[in-house]
């Protein structure tokens, strides 16, 4: 058991603390602000409920609203996109974050809130922190430190921009005329996002280019926000709070771990706000970060693998989301000549190759001899196995989104060494049926063919 200190009580910090407590560590969490407090990120993507359920923390969604539909006016006329499963959630982040922190507390995590760090040092004995609380000065000793302060994280986590600088202007509104579902609209040189909250208010956000906004005429923030809002088509009621400006630029930390510390959530990775998945990604970094930290603490011989795994996962997520966002910005840019859209639609290097899916018709599958693609590389790469990061034989291929070691619970590399070149997919699956049911083996073979790992024999010889 190690002493772990987490700085920051948002979703990333709370989830990391929860997971580290579940792994048997002694955890203290420092949060400088009293909850509840408002925070951007009130529209949770559909993956969040399942992640919370895996932690036993689904109660944090109490009081949330399901997302039944989203109105999108991006490339042309407004469209209503229905969410039949209603897995997205609209939350009051002050309440949501409080409940998540309460769950960490219920698992034995020590919560220091509100608390301000006045001194922090690291030496051969570990971390020493001095904090100032409402009851006076306190000291905390820790073996491992997690920085989950979001964009306010320590500057030592050097960050690489992952897109144009973006600023979010936002304010809360109340009254008639507010949409009761999320609305996304593209403007001439900005885009708009209206998020209804459980209390009936609405957070209307305007995303602008940070450099262009800073260089423009210097009216008040309120007047510039209202001027932009007038062009949006929204007819809000009355403002329920002041207008604020928040950095919404995407970036990735260049080195998000040391042997005794880790950056989590937006301290390590910020996605383009168009993805609406910042909270989900923060939780995912915390879950992966907990396994990385557990490895650094418990298996120091695997430290290099753990650190490489975490950094690689951050960079892969940043590249994937930036490429996805660029595609959507390109759709809007077709009808809008402004530099705002052109800059964000800039082409991203990535995986442009996609093969047509193999027919699931058994006759066509059975008749097609295949071989391994010449582009396939099998190498030892770090991956999560249980509660630790370890090296495993992993598949890398241009048609794969990233390195893959397992499909379900089946390691893939041993399977690829266990078939004869020129065999059909069905023959391959029959050979693999010694390890698993035939149906599962055939599904894996088809997946490998669909993703370019297995190719038609004539393709492999070109």
User: Tokens 């309120």 correspond to what residue?
Assistant: 222
In DSSP notation, 48-67 reads: HHHHHHHHT-GGGGTT-EE-
* DSSP letter, residue 175: S
Antiparallel, parallel or unpaired: β 257-258 and 26-30: unpaired
User: Tokens 């964009």 correspond to what residue?
Assistant: 151
Q: Is 131 left (phi over 0), alpha (psi -120 to 50) or beta?
A: beta
User: Tokens 């800073």 correspond to what residue?
Assistant: 214
* Residues 71, 234 contacting (CB under 8 angstroms): no
Q: Could you tell me which CATH number the domain at 3-61+92-157+251-328 has?
A: 3.50.50.60
Closest CA to 257 of 216, 313, 219, 205: 313
Compute φ and ψ for 27, nearest 5 degrees.
-120, 135
Antiparallel, parallel or unpaired: β 69-73 and 79-82: antiparallel
Contacts (Cβ under 8 Å, ≥6 apart) of 246: 40, 167, 168, 170
Antiparallel, parallel or unpaired: β 110-112 and 26-30: parallel
Distance CA 103, CA 96 (A): 11
Distance CA 127, CA 139 (A): 10
* Residues 35, 91 contacting (CB under 8 angstroms): no
* Residues 290, 326 contacting (CB under 8 angstroms): no
Distance CA 22, CA 326 (A): 39
For 268, the token pair is 């390590």
Rg (CA), the chain: 25
User: Tokens 């077709």 correspond to what residue?
Assistant: 334
Residue 365 confidence (pLDDT): 56
Instruction: For CATH 3.90.930, list the domain ranges present in the chain.
Output: 362-460
Residue 63 confidence (pLDDT): 93
**Adjacency order of strands within the sheet including 144-147:** 110-112, 26-30, 3-7, 144-147, 261-263, 257-258
Q: How many CA atoms lie within 13 A of 355 on its CB side?
A: 20
**Adjacency order of strands within the sheet including 136-142:** 115-123, 126-133, 136-142
Query: How distant, in Å, are the alpha carbons of 27, 81, 240, 328 from that of 334?
Result: 51, 21, 36, 10
Distance CA 110, CA 176 (A): 43
* Residues 146, 13 contacting (CB under 8 angstroms): yes
Compute φ and ψ for 121, nearest 5 degrees.
-140, 150
Closest CA to 234 of 170, 278, 277, 166: 170
Residue 177 confidence (pLDDT): 81
Closest CA to 71 of 309, 233, 289: 233
In DSSP notation, 308-347 reads: HHHHHHHHHHHHHHHHHHHHHHHHHHTT---HHHHHHT--
Closest CA to 265 of 251, 244, 246, 275: 251
| Residues forming a β-bridge with 66 | 89
Element (H, E) at 137: strand 136-142
* Exposed/middle/buried for residue 230 (C-beta within 10 Å: 0-12, 13-18, 19+): exposed
**What is the mean pLDDT of each successive set of 10 residues along the chain, which is 462 residues long?**
97 99 99 95 95 97 94 91 84 98 98 97 97 96 98 90 97 90 96 96 97 88 93 84 96 97 98 95 98 98 96 94 95 93 77 48 68 95 93 93 89 89 91 94 93 82 49
Query: How distant, in Å, are the alpha carbons of 35, 113, 133, 442 from that of 136?
Result: 19, 12, 5, 64
Fold of 362-460: Outer Surface Protein A; domain 3 (3.90.930)
Instruction: For CATH 3.50.50.60, list the domain ranges present in the chain.
Output: 3-61+92-157+251-328
Q: Could you tell me which CATH number the domain at 166-247 has?
A: 3.30.9.100
For 174, the token pair is 């109340």
Expressed in percent and rounded to 5, the helix, strand and coil fractions of the chain are 35, 30, 35
Instruction: For CATH 3.30.9.100, list the domain ranges present in the chain.
Output: 166-247
* Residues 438, 426 contacting (CB under 8 angstroms): no
């Amino acid at each position: 058991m190690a002493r772990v200190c987490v700085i920051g009580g948002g979703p990333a910090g709370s989830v990391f603390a929860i997971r580290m407590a579940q792994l048997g560590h002694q955890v203290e969490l420092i949060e400088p602000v009293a909850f509840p407090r408002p925070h951007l990120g009130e529209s949770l993507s559909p993956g969040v409920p399942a992640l919370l359920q895996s932690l036993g923390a689904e109660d944090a969604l109490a009081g949330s609203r399901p997302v039944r539909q989203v109105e999108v006016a991006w490339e042309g006329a407004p469209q209503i996109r229905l969410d039949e499963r209603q897995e997205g959630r609209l939350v009051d982040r002050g309440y949501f974050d409080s409940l998540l922190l309460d769950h960490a507390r219920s698992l034995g995590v020590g919560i220091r809130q509100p608390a301000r760090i006045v001194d922090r040092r690291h030496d051969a004995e570990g971390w020493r922190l001095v904090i100032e609380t409402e009851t006076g000065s306190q000291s905390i000793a820790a073996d491992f430190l997690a920085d989950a302060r979001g964009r306010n994280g320590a500057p030592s986590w050097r960050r690489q921009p992952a897109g144009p600088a973006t600023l979010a202007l936002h304010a809360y509104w109340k009254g008639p005329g507010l949409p009761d579902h999320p609305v996304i609209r593209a403007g001439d040189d900005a885009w708009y996002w209206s998020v209804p909250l459980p209390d009936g208010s609405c957070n209307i956000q305007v995303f602008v280019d940070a450099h262009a906004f800073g260089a423009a005429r210097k009216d008040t923030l309120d007047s510039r926000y209202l001027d932009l809002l007038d062009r949006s088509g929204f007819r809000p009621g009355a403002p329920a709070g002041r207008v604020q400006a928040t950095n919404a630029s995407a970036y990735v930390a260049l080195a998000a771990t040391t042997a005794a510390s880790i950056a989590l959530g937006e301290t390590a990775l910020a996605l383009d706000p168009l993805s609406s998945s910042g909270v989900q990604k923060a939780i995912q970094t915390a879950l992966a970060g907990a396994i990385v930290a557990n490895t650094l603490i418990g298996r120091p011989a695997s430290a290099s693998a753990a650190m490489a795994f975490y950094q690689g996962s951050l960079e892969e997520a940043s590249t994937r989301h930036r490429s996805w966002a660029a595609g959507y910005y390109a759709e809007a840019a077709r009808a809008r000549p402004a530099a705002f859209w052109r800059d964000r639609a800039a082409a991203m290097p990535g995986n442009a190759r996609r093969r047509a899916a193999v027919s699931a018709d058994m006759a066509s599958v059975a008749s097609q001899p295949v071989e391994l693609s010449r582009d396939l590389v099998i190498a030892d790469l770090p991956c999560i196995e249980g509660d630790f990061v370890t090296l495993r034989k992993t598949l890398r291929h241009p048609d794969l989104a990233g390195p893959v070691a397992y499909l379900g619970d089946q390691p893939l590399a041993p399977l690829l060494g266990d078939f004869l070149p020129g065999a059909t997919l069905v023959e391959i699956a029959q050979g693999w049926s010694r390890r698993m049911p035939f149906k599962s083996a055939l599904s894996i073979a088809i997946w490998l063919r669909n993703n370019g790992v297995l190719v038609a024999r004539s393709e492999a010889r070109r």
